[in-house]
Amino acid sequence: MSARDTQRVVLHRDQAEVEFSRIVAFSDGVFAIAITLLVLALEIPPDVDIGDALRDRGAEFFAYFLSFAVVGRFWMAHHRIFGSIARFDTNLVIVNLAYLAFIALVPFTSEVLGNYSDDSTGVAIYAANLTAVSLISWTMIRYSYTRGLMREEAEEFRVRFAGAGAFVVAGVFALSIPLAFLSPTLAMISWASLFVLGDRVVDRLTGVRKPT
Amino acid sequence: MSARDTQRVVLHRDQAEVEFSRIVAFSDGVFAIAITLLVLALEIPPDVDIGDALRDRGAEFFAYFLSFAVVGRFWMAHHRIFGSIARFDTNLVIVNLAYLAFIALVPFTSEVLGNYSDDSTGVAIYAANLTAVSLISWTMIRYSYTRGLMREEAEEFRVRFAGAGAFVVAGVFALSIPLAFLSPTLAMISWASLFVLGDRVVDRLTGVRKPT
Amino acid sequence: MSARDTQRVVLHRDQAEVEFSRIVAFSDGVFAIAITLLVLALEIPPDVDIGDALRDRGAEFFAYFLSFAVVGRFWMAHHRIFGSIARFDTNLVIVNLAYLAFIALVPFTSEVLGNYSDDSTGVAIYAANLTAVSLISWTMIRYSYTRGLMREEAEEFRVRFAGAGAFVVAGVFALSIPLAFLSPTLAMISWASLFVLGDRVVDRLTGVRKPT
Amino acid sequence: MSARDTQRVVLHRDQAEVEFSRIVAFSDGVFAIAITLLVLALEIPPDVDIGDALRDRGAEFFAYFLSFAVVGRFWMAHHRIFGSIARFDTNLVIVNLAYLAFIALVPFTSEVLGNYSDDSTGVAIYAANLTAVSLISWTMIRYSYTRGLMREEAEEFRVRFAGAGAFVVAGVFALSIPLAFLSPTLAMISWASLFVLGDRVVDRLTGVRKPT
C-alpha cells in the first residue's frame, strides 16, 4: 500500500456514504433546477392578444413538454446508474460534472428548439446537446464497470448498459444531427421513436432485458 | 417468478428506500424552485415613478401570492400522498413527472394571470393549468391505491382520496375554464371557495373526514 | 379521544420525522433559491463601457450583498427556530409557507432597492418586506411556544424569543418604513444597527441571552 | 463553565448533526442553483440567423463551460473541506455565507466574461470574483484548523490546506487581476494553468500531497 493509497483512504473511508449521497443530491439538484428553468423560455409580453399569442407558441409548448420528458428520462436513468454504483472516485465526480454541464444546458437548447423548430440548425443544436448527454452517460457507465465501482448485483447487466448495443441511444441522437439538415421533422421523429422503441431495441441488441 | 420479476427485484429491493426518498426530494426540489421562480414575474424597470409602478401592479402581486398559496397547497397535498405511499413503480415515477411538469408551468401561467387578470383567456389558461395538476394528482392517488402501493393504514381513506367525491377539486378547476369566459372574476371566486370550502365539501360527499 | 384525533394520528405519528424533515428541506430549498436568485438583479448589457457600467451599479452591488446577508441571517434564525421545534401541525406549515412567500419576495424588493436606493418608496418597500418576514417569524415562534410544539429545553428561552422584547426586530423594520420617507439613508442605517446591536438590545430587554 | 457556555450547549449538542447537515445541504443548494443559472447568460433572440448567432457566441459558450468547471471545482473543494470538519460555530456559518455570496455571484461575472472576453475590465472582474472565493475558502480552512473544528484525521493535512503554500490558488487569481490589464488572454491562461498544475505546485510547496 503506497503512501498515496493511505492518504486516499484517510478522509474518505468512514464518510464515503455521506459524500456519495452529497454527489447524488447535488446531481438531483441540478436536474430539478434545469427541468424547472425550462419554463423561463415561455413568455408572453403584456398588452398583446393573449389568444393569438398562445396559438403562436405551439412549438414553444411542444419544446417545453418534450424537454421536460427528456430531462425527466435522463434523471431516471441517472437515478438507476447511481443506484447501481457502490464506490466512487474523483474521475467519476468529474465525468458526472461534465454530464451535468450538458443537462444544465438543455433550458438553452430547448428555448432555441422552441423558437427555431422549423430550422435545421435549431433542431441540430438540440440534438447535439442530447448526444453529448447520452455519450457522457454511456462513458460514465462503462468507466464505473471497468473500475469496479459498480455493485456486484449490477454485473449481470454489464452487457446491457456498458456494451456496444447500449450505444444505440447516443447513436440515434448523433445521427439526428445530420438528419436535421435533411428534415427537422424527421429528426424529431427519430427522438420520439427512441422514447417508444429505444429500450426494446437495446434489449434485443444486447440480449439482456433492462431491469425496471 | 418470471425472469422479468427477478430482474425487477435485483436493483430495487435493497435500495428502494434510498431511491424513494430521491424521488420525493426531487419533487420537493421542483416545488421549491417553481414556487420561488414566481417572483420573476414581478419586475419594475429602473427610472419610472416607483409609487405609480407599484399601484399598477396590484394584479401581479395578487397573482404572486395566490400562486404561492396554490403551489404551497399542492405541495402539502403531494406531501400527504407520498407520506402514504409505501412502494413505487416506474409508472408512478412517470405520472409524478407529468404532475411536476404542470407544477413547473405555474410560474408561466401565473405571470399570464398577473398581466391578463381581466382577460377571459388569461384566466382560463391559469385554470387549465390547475385543472391538469389536480387531475393528474387524482389519477396518481387512484393508481397508487389500485396497484397496492399505499400503506395499509391509508386504506380507510381510500374513498376520501381516490373516490369520485375527491374529483370535486379537479372538477371545480375544470368548470372554472368556461366560467372564465363568462366572467374572469367569477372564475377566481370559484378557486377561492375551493380553498375555504373544498375540504369540507369533499368530506361530506365521501363521508370520510380528511386526516389533518 | 374523538374520531378526529384518531385520524389525526394515523398518517402522522410513525412518519412525523420524515415529514418534518421534508418541511425543513423545502424551506431550506426556498432560502437557497431566493438567495441565489438575488444575482439576477445584476445585469450589464453587452456593448457598453464596462468600467462605467460597474461604477454606476454601486447601489445594485450594495443591495445584492445586503440582501444576501439579510436572507442568510433569516435562514440562520429559521434554522434555530426549527431546531427547537419538536412537533408540528398544519397551522405551523401554513404560517411557514406565508413566511417563505416573503422570503421568496426579497429578490424582487432587493432589485427595487438597488435601482431606487435614493427613493423613499423604493427603500420603504424593501423595509416592508423585511417587516413582514420578521413579524411572521415572531408569530411562528409564539405559536410554537403556545401550542407546545417546542422542545422542553427551549422553554428557558421563551421570554427571549416569544416575549414582547423579541418584537424589537420587527418593530425597527416597521419603523424604518415611515423613516424612509424622511430619509432613505437613515432607514438603511437603522437596518445596519439591527445587525450590529439587535441581539444585544433584545438580550437586555428580555433579560435572557440568546443561545449561540 | 460560564452561563454563556451552558446556553451554547443547550440547543446544539444533541442536534448538532442535523444542523450541520442542514448547513452542508444549504451550501450544496446554492452551488447547484448557481451552476445551473449559468445557462441564463446564453440567449438567442427569435428571428435571427441561428447559425450566425451561434458562431458569434463562442466566447459565451466558453464562459459557460469554464464557469461550470470552476464552480464544480470549488464545489468539490467545499465538499472536501466540510467532509473534514467535525464541529462548527456561528462564525464558520457566517464565513461560509460570505463564501456562498461570491459563489452565487459567478453567474453574473461569468455573463460579463462572456460578453467582454476581450476587455481587460471584463476579465478582471471575473478574476476578482474567483479571488474572493478562494481567499474566503482559505480563511475558512485556517479558521477551522485554528479553532479545532477539524476532525483529528485532518491534522496531517494542516500544512497542505491551511499553510502559506495553499495560498497559491488565491494568489494566482489575485495576480490575474492586474494581468488582465496587460492581456486578457494571459489572465485566462493563468487560470487554466491553475487547473492543470495547481494541485501539483501546492503539493510541492507544502511538501504534503493532497488526498484524493
Q: Please indicate whether, in this complex, the C-beta atoms of C30 and B28 are within 8 angstroms of each other.
A: no
**D150: helix, coil or strand?**
strand
pLDDT of residue D38: 96
Kindly state the cell numbers that stand for C22.
421534508
Helices D168-182 and D184-206, axial angle in degrees (round to 10): 160
Residues 6 or more apart whose Cβ sits within 8 Å of residue B197: none
Q: How far apart are CA C75 and CA C35, in angstroms?
A: 10
| Minimum-distance CB partner of D211 among A7, A25, A93 | A7
- DSSP sequence for chain B: --HHHHHHHHTTGGGHHHHHHHHHHHHHHHHHHHHHHGGGG----SSS-HHHHHHHTHHHHHHHHHHHHHHHHHHHHHHHHHHHB----HHHHHHHHHHHHHHTTHHHHHHHHHH-TT-HHHHHHHHHHHHHHHHHHHHHHHHHHHTT-B-GGGGGGHHHHHSGGGGHHHHHHHHHHHHHHH-HHHHHHHHHHHHHHHHHHHHHHHTSPPP-
pLDDT in tens, A103-131: 999 999 999 999 998 898 999 999 999 99
Q: What is the mean pLDDT of residues A132-145?
A: 91
The pLDDT value given to residue B1: 36
The b/e string for B189-210 (b: 16+ C-beta within 10 A; e otherwise) is ebbeebeeebeeebeebbebbb
| Contact across the interface for D83 and A122, Cβ inside 8 Å | no
With 90 as the cut, is the pLDDT of residue B80 above it? no
How many secondary structure helices (H) and strands (E) does chain C include? 10, 0
Please list, in sequence order, all residues whose beta carbon lies within 8 angstroms of the beta carbon of residue C67, skipping any fewer than 6 positions away. C35, C38, C106, C107, C110, C113
Cα distance between residue B205 and residue C206, in whole Å:
51
What phi and psi, each to the nearest 5 degrees, are found at residue C211? -70, 145
Distance from CA of A153 to the nearest CA of B (A): 7
Give residue A20's pLDDT: 80
Least Cα distance to A41 among B68, B105, C92, B32 occurs for B105
Nearest Cβ partner for B8 among A31, A32, A212: A212
* Residue C68 amino acid letter: F
Q: How far apart are CA C51 and CA D124, in angstroms?
A: 10
Report the residue of D24, D30, D108, D136 to disrupt the C interface, i.e. the one with the largest count of C CBs within 10 Å: D108
CB contact under 8 A, D37 and C36: yes
CA of C51: which chain D residue's CA is closest? D121
**Higher pLDDT pick, A60 / A197:** A60
Chain D nearest C-alpha distance from C157 (Å): 10
Q: What's the whole-number mean pLDDT along residues D168-178?
A: 87
Q: Where are the alpha helices (DSSP H) in chain A?
A: 3-10, 16-37, 50-56, 58-84, 90-103, 106-115, 120-146, 158-162, 168-182, 184-206
pLDDT confidence of residue C164: 67
* Closest C-alpha to D130, from D113, D149, D146: D113
Positions of E strands within C75-199: none
d(CA B58, CA B80): 33
D128 interaction partners in chain C (CB closer than 8 Å): none
The CA distance from B131 to the nearest CA of chain A, in Å, is 17
Contact B51 C121 (CB under 8 A): yes
Distance in angstroms (rounded) separating the CA atoms of residues A168 and A177: 14
C-beta separation of D137 from D101 below 8 A: no
From C69, C55, C132, C44, select the one nearest C95 (Cα to Cα): C132
Interface of A with B (CB under 8 A): 24-25, 28-29, 31-33, 35-40, 42-44, 46-47, 50-51, 54, 64-65, 68-69, 72, 75-76, 79-80, 83-84, 153-154, 156-157, 209, 211-212
Packing angle, helices C120-146 and C184-206, rounded to 10: 20
Residue with more model confidence, D74 or B153: D74
Say how far apart CA B163 and CA B157 lie, in whole Å: 9
In the predicted structure, residue A8 carries a pLDDT above the cut 50: no
pLDDT of residue D212: 59
| Sequence-ordered list of residues with C-beta below 8 angstroms from that of C212, at least 6 positions apart, any chain | D4, D7, D8, D89, D90
User: How far is residue A168's CA from residue A205's CA, in Å, rounded to a whole number?
Assistant: 9
Least confident among B26-35, B127-136, D169-178: D169-178
- CA distances from residue C74 to C32, C103, C130, C135, C186 in whole angstroms, order as listed: 12, 9, 10, 12, 22
Cβ distance of C35 and D121 shorter than 8 Å: no
The rounded mean pLDDT for chain B is 83
Give whole-number Cα distances, D79 to A6, A23, B36, B192, in Å: 20, 9, 26, 46
pTM of the complete model:
0.89
What's the whole-number mean pLDDT along residues D109-125? 92
The pLDDT score that the predictor gives to residue B6 is 35
Closest CA to D113 of D127, D103, D94: D127
Q: Which residues of D touch C69 (CB under 8 A)?
A: 97, 101
- ipTM (interface pTM): 0.86
Chain C nearest-CA residue for B65: C101
Nearest by CB to D209, which of A4, A22, A104? A4
Beta-carbon pairs below 8 A across chains A and D: 96
Q: Indicate if the pLDDT at residue D10 is higher than 50.
A: no
Interface of D with C (CB under 8 A): 3-4, 7-8, 10-12, 15, 18-19, 22, 25-26, 29-30, 33-34, 37, 40, 89-90, 93-94, 97, 100-101, 104-105, 107-108, 111-112, 115-116, 119, 121-122, 125
Cell of D185: 488572454
Structure confidence at residue B211 (pLDDT) = 67
- The pLDDT, as a whole number, for residue A127 is 94
Q: Which chains touch C (3 or more CB pairs under 8 A)?
A: B, D
DSSP conformation class of D119: -
Q: Which three cell numbers stand for residue C27?
A: 424551506
Q: Which of A62-66, A115-119, A143-147 has the highest mean pLDDT?
A: A62-66
What distance in Å separates residue B154's CA from the closest CA in chain A?
26
pLDDT, residue A34, reads 96
pLDDT in tens, chain C (212 residues): 333 433 333 333 345 666 788 888 899 999 999 999 999 999 888 888 888 888 888 999 999 999 999 999 999 889 888 888 888 888 899 999 999 999 999 999 999 999 998 898 999 999 999 999 999 998 999 898 888 888 877 777 776 776 666 677 888 889 999 999 999 888 888 888 887 777 777 777 777 777 65
Q: What is the pLDDT of residue D68?
A: 96
Residue D4 has pLDDT above 50, yes or no: no
What are the cell numbers at D26? 444549504
The three three-digit cell numbers of residue A134, written as one number: 447520452
Average pLDDT value for chain A: 83
The reply to whether residue B104 touches residue A28, judged by beta carbons under 8 angstroms, is no
Q: What is the mean pLDDT of residues A42-62?
A: 89
Cα B201–B203–B207 angle (5° rounding)? 125
Residue D50 has pLDDT above 80, yes or no: yes
Q: List pLDDT tens digits, range B161-201.
A: 766 666 778 888 899 999 999 998 888 888 888 877 777 77
* pLDDT tens digit sequence for D131-140: 999 999 989 9
- At CB < 8 Å, which residues of chain D contact A? 24-25, 28-29, 31-33, 35-40, 42-44, 46-47, 50-51, 54, 64-65, 68-69, 72, 75-76, 79-80, 83-84, 153-154, 156-157, 209, 211-212
D chain contacts of residue C40, beta-carbon cutoff 8 Å: 37, 40, 107
CB spacing of C65 vs D101 below 8 angstroms: yes
Contacts of residue C195, Cβ cutoff 8 Å, sequence gap at least 6? C69, C73
Cα A52 to chain center, whole Å? 34
What confidence tens digit (pLDDT) does each residue in A25-34 have? Answer: 899 999 999 9
A102 vs A203 pLDDT, higher one = A102
At residue A15, does pLDDT exceed 60? no
Nearest-angstrom CA–CA distance, A44 and B29:
26
